[in-house]
Chains A and B, each alone.
Chain A
Amino acid sequence: MPKLPAPPLPKVLQPKPRRPGDGNGKLTPAETAQEAGLSVVDWLDERTSMSGVLRWTLFRHVPRGTNWYYTLGTATLFAFLNQAVTGVFLAMYYRPDAAGGAYESVRNINDNVWAGQLVHGMHKWGASVMIILIFLHMGRVFFFGAYKYPRELTWVIGVVILILVLMMGLTGYLLPLDNRAYWATVVATNIQAGGPFIGPYLANFLIGGTDFGATTLSRFYAIHMLLIPGAIIALIGFHLYLVAKLGTRRT
């Protein structure tokens, strides 16, 4: 059946186009708000030229056939943001004290702090989620051949991010300082010491001496919450720049 045009509205019901000068030259409150918003954006854009960057980043053409598999990278990014946000707030209650304070502070987070168990759980399980997602993302890129020219560098940076994320898992595992954390770290650092020539010294660097000591925990904590996250954020930025520049795949 052919689609019929909608019957025209009677003239009295048609919305009137707004004309300049309506309201005796004064702007209605809604218009004032709209103008204010626009002038703020204009003020910023005149000084930063950010609108071009945002348009270039967010409103780029996406190739036909892009599907749900292409959301895995964004999913990984959101897992990272979850880790960052929950990690920052966990740091407000955590105490990196190897003499027992660390364990007590984690117990305090779980038992006494409001929603502590939830936030701690989000950070703990989110770590596993992030690693699973990062591997799924990597598998998607591999099986779709998306690492090929000209996106090799995107792949290489992704691999570096993967390694850093695994290091986050390793260093974060010690922080609750329960028996599992302690022995897992003993085993991990000893595996590291098994590398010939420099292995022993790398292990000495990581544990801050020859044996697990008072500074081992603070070392792991500093690496976990300052050193590696900074590197990951910088590399994610570069990774996303390359995605915006090169696209996800051949169009």
Chain B
Amino acid sequence: MPGAFEGETVSRRRFMTLTAHGAGGVAAAAFTLPALGFALAPIFKHQAWSWQAVGPVSDFPDHQDFVTRILNVQKDAGESGTTLVYMRKRLSGVDTEHEDQYNQIIAISSRCMHVGCPVRWTSAAERFICPCHGGVYNIRGIVTGGPPVRPLDRFYTRINSTSGLVEVGPRYSVNSELQRFSPRLPGEPLDGIGQFLYPSQFAGPKKP
């Protein structure tokens, strides 16, 4: 016998209980959901980037060596918002990946693809060597030893035709064939099923 009157489907007591609980739930959601969205927003916001001029073309070696440049990748974070890139000209016979306007100058990230320590170019060995866990990469950034799961990340580069300066754009990741993928974090392989296990970040920068 649900109600006081004939034909009622819910008693007053039950109706009041549901109303009170419902109102409480709405009130709690009213502050929880905005706060949660506020905290989660960086997952979905595209990272801002701009072309950063790093010097004339003649600055960059056309033999098997690198010069370094420091890029600002995050605003208002001081030194902790910068990253180091190793740069050289594209070398015929060495860089066999598909050539286009964005890789006339090669910009290789110093971020190790094991867990993100900074690698160092050791010219005597002609290798990038990571001090943390012994990751080793060759001059193209391809893994030749140690734990890293994919080649070193790269940055889009272009040669500004009006100023003649080399400019560096957003980061991209590569698989072992040096095919471009949207930037992934270290430790995420991109060969085989890796690219599906580690989907693209929503917050990655938009392609140039």
Interface residues of A, Cβ cutoff 8 Å to B: 98-100, 177, 182-183, 186-187, 189-191, 193-194, 196-197, 199-201, 203-205, 208-217
**A98, B76: Cβ atoms under 8 Å?**
yes
Known contacts A98-B77, A201-B201, A210-B183; decide if A187 and B188 are in contact (CB<8 Å): no
B23, chain A: closest CB distance, angstroms: 25
Q: Give 12 A-B pairs besides A186-B117, A204-B42 with Cβ atoms closer than 8 angstroms.
A: A190-B187, A193-B184, A193-B186, A193-B187, A196-B198, A200-B198, A204-B201, A205-B40, A205-B43, A212-B74, A212-B81, A213-B76
- Complex Cα spacing A196 to B47, Å: 22
Q: Given the complex, which residues of A lie within 8 Å of B117, measured CB to CB?
A: 183, 186-187
Write out, one digit per residue, whether chain B residues 90-126 have a CB within 8 A of any chain A CB (1) or not (0): 0000000000000000000000000111100000000
What is the interface size of chain B, counting residues whose CB is below 8 A from a CB of the partner?
35
Complex partner residue of A190 from B40, B115, B203, CB under 8 angstroms: B115
Q: Given the complex, which residues of A lie within 8 Å of B8, measured CB to CB?
A: none
Complex partner residue of B199 from A100, A187, A190, A197, CB under 8 angstroms: A197
Closest to A204 in B: B43
Q: Given the complex, which residues of B lie within 8 Å of A203, measured CB to CB?
A: 185
B168 on the interface (CB 8 Å rule)? no
**B47, A211: Cβ atoms under 8 Å?**
yes
Known contacts A200-B198, A209-B47; decide if A191 and B203 are in contact (CB<8 Å): no
**A211, B198: Cβ atoms under 8 Å?**
no
Write out, one digit per residue, whether chain B residues 64-92 have a CB within 8 A of any chain A CB (1) or not (0): 00000000011111111101000000000
**B203, A210: Cβ atoms under 8 Å?**
yes
- Complex Cα spacing A25 to B203, Å: 81
- Complex Cα spacing A191 to B202, Å: 19
Known contacts A190-B115, A190-B187; decide if A98 and B201 are in contact (CB<8 Å): no
- Complex Cα spacing A203 to B198, Å: 12
**B185, A200: Cβ atoms under 8 Å?**
yes
- Complex Cα spacing A216 to B78, Å: 12
A218, chain B: closest CB distance, angstroms: 11
